[in-house]
Homo-oligomer: A and B are copies of this chain.
Amino acid sequence: MEVRDVLIIGGSMAGRTAAVAARNHYREVGIAIIRPQEKEQVMVPCGLPYIFGTLGAVEKNVTPDAMVFDRGIELIVDQAISIDRAAKTVTTANGNMIGYRKLILATGSVPVIPPIPGRDLKNAFSAVKDIHYLNNLLAQLKKVKHITIIGGGFIGVEFADEFRKRGLQVTIIEILPHCLQLVFSEDFCALAEQRIRARGINLMTGTRVKAILGEIEVERLELDSGESIDTDMVLFGVGVLPNVELALKAGLTIGEIGAIQVDEYGRTSDEDIFAIGDCSEKVSYFTKKPSTLRLSSVAAREGRIAGANLFGLKRRNEGVIGSFATVIDDLGLGSVGLTEKAAGDAGYKVVTGESRTRDKHPGTMPGSSEIRMRLVFDKANGEILGAELSGGPTVADITNTLAALIQVRMKADEVVTYQYGVHPALTSAPSTHPIPNAAEDALAKW
């Protein structure tokens, strides 16, 4: 039996990033990724919606493998089916047994399919990160006119916008009062909804699907209201759950929200086994309580932490802040850390500050967008806890600047003198920069 120094189960964002980090930190060890996909067959997770509009082909959404496997990392195309922790071996679907010194579980997540009658009908899909599944979805899509997306979170809204680019009729059904409600305050949700509707998408919020009806294929949806909608296809976009099957069978501890429990170094209850990405438990940066945040950026970060910690603890994970961005038509939206409501729910007393400006200057520069920003500060000590904003194509990087300020727990009176730079074609004006001005607005209300 061959033994690998480092065996990684799963080759998506978490697994591949861990492999590269392990290679950077441990030059001489043998590192292998075991995954069912051949080379150039792994999907970019956040790219899924873009296959169906902007990209137009599943193959354009492939994660390039060369940057991993050109670095002396082995690919084992197979499926891990069990772990023997005492023997430190993994058994595969092909009947092989592979030994490990350190094992990393990066088994990801599976889409949630809500228990709605009719969910197994043909033409009911979900966002499965599989090249064959997605090619089938794309093929079926060519035959339909009206698709209904169940779930108005990021994935649902992004799929809807992309389906519109194909000219499809699109309905979104969201059970909560607003789209994107888990991450944005009501006013930003309203901005998003306005833009979704302006794109010609039929958006139904506060609405529940009672049943999916049809003979073989999806034909109609029955809503709680008694109303019904004719539709040719359904896409579930209601979130994902950690894929913990292997870990569970191996007797690793599963945390209270159903993910593999790990310590701040990424170690499971077995100290030779790490778990990262969607399958592992995250805790909130703020409350240290388990968090349901599952993001590819978080997965990659956990890969960088675990990969470095394999043979000596070097990096700690102090919990997830959560930095989100999306774009609907050309409206960029970003959110990071705690909204005012989330901060209140977590027990903080907060002060908020707001600003509005343009993302180029002077405002007469062509192609400029309005930026609206809200910052949330801890009233007790002045630390920035969160931000949400709308704008143009720079909104994700502004959100990331705010993520940095949050991560270092910058206080409002430091945020107001944060040392940004400006350029007419690229940023807001020096005097109206949204970050210091929103902080100043908060300080005036303290």
A residues apposed to B, CB below 8 Å: 13, 16-17, 20-21, 24-25, 44, 46-47, 50, 54-55, 60-64, 67, 285, 295-301, 303-305, 314-315, 317, 320-327, 332, 334, 336, 361-366, 393-401, 403-408, 410, 413, 416-427, 429-433, 436, 440, 443-444
Contact = CB atoms under 8 A, between A and B. Distances in A.
Contact of A64 (B24, B363, B365, B421): B363
A431 B326 CA distance: 18
26 contacts: A64-B363, A67-B432, A295-B421, A297-B421, A297-B422, A297-B433, A300-B436, A301-B419, A304-B417, A315-B417, A320-B419, A322-B421, A323-B420, A325-B423, A332-B426, A334-B421, A396-B426, A397-B398, A397-B400, A400-B427, A401-B404, A403-B418, A404-B404, A404-B405, A404-B410, A408-B410
Contacts of A299: 430
B423 A327 contact: yes
A361 B61 CA distance: 8
A327 B363 contact: no
A50 B430 CA distance: 16
A63 B362 contact: yes
A404 B417 CA distance: 11
A412 to B, nearest CB: 11
Given A297-B422, A323-B421, A404-B418, 8 more contacts: A54-B425, A67-B432, A295-B430, A323-B419, A332-B426, A393-B394, A403-B421, A404-B410
A282 B142 CA distance: 62
B44 A361 contact: yes
Q: Please list the 7 inter-chain residue pairs (A to B) with the smallest Cβ-Cβ separation, ordered nearest first.
A: A323-B421, A397-B397, A300-B430, A396-B426, A60-B364, A408-B408, A404-B404
Contact of A50 (B322, B365, B433, B444): B365
A416 B304 contact: yes
Contacts of A366: 54
B413 A364 contact: no
Nearest to A61: B362
Contacts of A21: 440
Given A24-B444, A332-B426, A393 B396 contact: no
A411 to B, nearest CB: 11
A16 to B, nearest CB: 6
